A and B are shown apart, each in its own frame.
Chain A
Amino acid sequence: MQTKRTFGLLIAPFVVFTSVFFLIAVGKTVSLSFGYDPLLGHHQITWRYYQAIFANKTFIRTLLRTFSVTFLSSLLASLIGLRLAFLIKRSQSWGARFLSRIANVPLVLPHIFMVLVFIWCFDQTGLLVRLIHLLGWHQFQLPVLIGDPYQVGILLTYLWKETPYVLLTLLLVVRQLEDDYFLAAKNLGANRWQRLWYVEWPLVQPAFFNALIIVFSFSFGAYEVPALLGSQKYELLPVMIYDLYQQSDLTLRPLIMSFNVVISVIAIGFAGLLLGLSWWLPGGRRRQRT
């Protein structure tokens, strides 16, 4: 009895805080998205705003664009981070030690700093162009990467910022792996791919998917980078929603809230899909049970 009370007391601050602020906001968002707005005297529940969203081609296109850019950058960051973590573990060299220390730098710097540095390095007259000109290739021209229609600048900035995060989280897991499994598999004649797929991947994949989900969810809904580096013609979702929200038009609120519900459901659904994939793949919890 005593322990139950202690447990209750320990989780009480979290439960109270989450219900008061988080759950109320969720409830308000969902009810507003169905047109229930007592403030304006709307008490009727309607699907109208959801219908408007799915009929809105700009929204669908923006959604797909945002999803592809942020998923591609998160996937690349996760794969490169994973590869680097293994390279660092195997190599005891100064390069590996240096990399594992210095990877903390982009982790500490906010995204806007990374944008500033990205502009200074990859602008048309940025450091990279200057370096290549100095090396003697005077005709070299860098394609436009700031405000470009394909969002390459956004993708590269996220890659620069998130790869170290994945690297450091996975390094914690990779460092704990025993070499014994790997050596045993090698001894039994497993080739490189077999060792990777049957021995190493199952041990790290849960952490890999966790990192991928966190990085993707963050960049999918983040405003700063697309606002500073995005093209105005082909904007990304967070910029679009914020611009709508900023108009302070009370009649727009149900529409914005239904945008919020739709993109939240997509983000949660996609995270669930990735978790399910991790669960189902070798090394996932499904296999552990049997």
Chain B
Amino acid sequence: MKKQISTSGLGLIGCLFGLPAVVILLLAIGRHWYVPYLLPQRWDWLAIFKFWQQDSTLWPAVKASLSLGLGTVGLTLLIAYPMAIALVKYQTALKGILNVLIYAPLIIPGIALTTSLDLTFIQLHLTGTWLGVVVVQTLFCLPYAIKLLVDNLAIYQVDYEAVAQNLGASRWQSFWQITLPLSRDGLIGAVTMTLIVAMSQYLTTLLIGDGNYLTLAINMFPLIQGGRYQAAACYGVVFMATLLIPLGLFEWVLKRKVRRLAHHEL
């Protein structure tokens, strides 16, 4: 009996965590959702397409979110991946200070870092540019990406890359055929987290982008403030699609590559 209660209790908490996605979807496609109704009284399955046609700011926002998000993913991986390999494979006295530098952007209050970076970037002439926004978003994403990659690479106790090189593989071969497939899950995690964090940024994108990059997150803010919940929910659905489609593609490509390699070796 007690076990049953705990099971349904956990299920109920699960429902509470899943509720936000359901509410956003219902808000987007439901109509006549007034007091005292618990559910929308009418449905409009094409609501999101209609909103897409009516609202001319949606498509530019999708493009802005994607270009900044993908740029951030690229820059983050370029910096985080070698860093993670270095941290796992080499014992160094620098580890302490490197860790402080890695996690500092997470610990320093976001508002302080954002306003300070904005002031600095004005002088570096990066405010209002694509590169400026990507750099700032990368700064916020690096701690997550490095942590996920390090945790993943640290699982393998054996230095398989050294084994491969010992057997005559070149550095490039050992990286491409050993390290990369082994860090597949870490890469998927890092890319997922980076894209989520980058696309969710509101204040940093607004300030550093100087209004030139009106992303989905930026456009949603005044909609919620102004009580236009249905429009905000449509933005929400589009946001989820913009986030999940590239992530799904990336995972598919990486898994296929790894499978092909495994096949090749057999």
Chain A interface residues (CB < 8 Å from chain B): 3, 7, 9-14, 17-18, 21-22, 24-26, 28-29, 32, 84, 87-88, 91, 93-96, 98-99, 101-103, 105-117, 119-121, 125, 127, 130-131, 133-134, 160, 163-164, 213-214, 217-218, 220-224, 228, 237-238, 241-242, 245, 253, 256-257, 259-261, 263-264, 267-268, 271
Q: Give chain B interface residues in 65-114, CB to chain A under 8 Å.
A: 78-80, 82-83, 85-86, 90, 92, 94, 98, 101-102, 104-114
Looking at the assembled complex, report how far the CB atom of B186 sits from the nearest CB atom of chain A, in whole angstroms.
13
Tally of chain B residues near chain A (CB < 8 A): 78
Complex CA–CA separation, A129 to B105 (angstroms): 40
Out of A28, A29, A112, A120, which one reaches B23, CB within 8 Å? A120
Looking at the assembled complex, report how far the CB atom of B108 sits from the nearest CB atom of chain A, in whole angstroms.
5
By the criterion CB–CB under 8 Å, are B38 and A25 in contact?
no
By the criterion CB–CB under 8 Å, are A99 and B203 in contact?
no
In the complex where A99-B17, A117-B23, A264-B109 touch, is A7 in contact with B10 (Cβ < 8 A)? no
List residues of chain B with CB within 8 A of the CB of A134. 36, 38
List residues of chain B with CB within 8 A of the CB of A29. 112, 116, 119
List residues of chain A with CB within 8 A of the CB of B233. 116
By the criterion CB–CB under 8 Å, are A115 and B79 in contact?
no
Complex CA–CA separation, A248 to B24 (angstroms): 36
Interface centre among B20, B83, B117, B240 (most CB of A within 10 A): B20
By the criterion CB–CB under 8 Å, are A99 and B217 in contact?
no
By the criterion CB–CB under 8 Å, are A94 and B7 in contact?
yes
Looking at the assembled complex, report how far the CB atom of A213 sits from the nearest CB atom of chain B, in whole angstroms.
7
Chain B interface residues (CB < 8 Å from chain A): 3, 6-21, 23-24, 27, 35-38, 78-80, 82-83, 85-86, 90, 92, 94, 98, 101-102, 104-120, 123, 135-136, 138-139, 142, 146, 196, 199-200, 202-203, 217, 220-221, 224-225, 229, 232-233, 236, 239-240, 243
Complex CA–CA separation, A105 to B19 (angstroms): 9
Closest B residue to A236 by beta carbon equals B111
By the criterion CB–CB under 8 Å, are B196 and A217 in contact?
no
- Summarize B's interface: helix, strand, loop or mixed: helix
Looking at the assembled complex, report how far the CB atom of B167 sits from the nearest CB atom of chain A, in whole angstroms.
19
Closest A residue to B90 by beta carbon equals A7
List residues of chain B with CB within 8 A of the CB of A98. 10-11, 14
Complex CA–CA separation, A109 to B20 (angstroms): 8
Closest B residue to A256 by beta carbon equals B115
By the criterion CB–CB under 8 Å, are B82 and A93 in contact?
no
Q: Which 7 A-B pairs have the closest CB atoms?
A: A221-B109, A110-B200, A95-B11, A10-B86, A260-B112, A95-B10, A99-B14
Out of A12, A24, A121, which one reaches B120, CB within 8 Å? A24
By the criterion CB–CB under 8 Å, are A117 and B17 in contact?
no
By the criterion CB–CB under 8 Å, are B109 and A267 in contact?
yes
In the complex where A13-B78, A238-B111 touch, is A117 in contact with B20 (Cβ < 8 A)? yes
